[in-house]
Amino acid sequence: MTSNEDIAFQERVRRLLIKHDPLFACVCPPEQHGEYDLELPRVVLALNQSSDYKVLRRELRRIFSESVGVFEAGTVFRYSRLARELLVMKKSAFRGPAWT
């Protein structure tokens, strides 16, 4: 991917993080655009290295546990829908023009 594609991909990941809000930190999502800036690079890296949602949800929980603490991060099940949507988004992003 080019740098513009990387930026677009990160923005899509950011929108999914805000949509699912695993830390319940976004009271007003449009105003909290940068809420997950700290975790975003690590989430993108984990997403690029994962192809199974169970592995990805464990990795997401680990990332957020290190960021805010184990209690605030919650259980691994909190990340299930987020992990699935991230993987679907990843697959659609890499299809390219031949699939459209």
CATH number at residue 76: 1.10.340
Q: Which domain holds residue 90?
A: 3-95
Give residues with Cβ within 8 angstroms of 78, minimum separation 6. 22, 61
Q: What is the pLDDT of residue 86?
A: 96
Residue 100: inside a domain: no
- Residue pair 57/82 in contact (Cβ under 8 Å)? The answer is yes
Q: What is the pLDDT of residue 98?
A: 43
Alpha-carbon torsion (83, 84, 88, 91), positive or negative? positive
Residue 31: inside a domain: yes
Q: What is the pLDDT of residue 4?
A: 84
Q: What is the pLDDT of residue 94?
A: 65
Residue segments in the chain with a per-residue pLDDT below the cut of 70? 1-2, 28-32, 94-100
What's the structural domain count of the chain?
Answer: 1
Residue 53: inside a domain: yes
Residue 29: inside a domain: yes
The runs of H, that is alpha helices, within the chain are: 3-20, 40-49, 53-68, 70-73, 80-93
Residue 56: inside a domain: yes
Residue 90: inside a domain: yes
First to last CA, the chain: 17
| pTM score over 0.95 | no
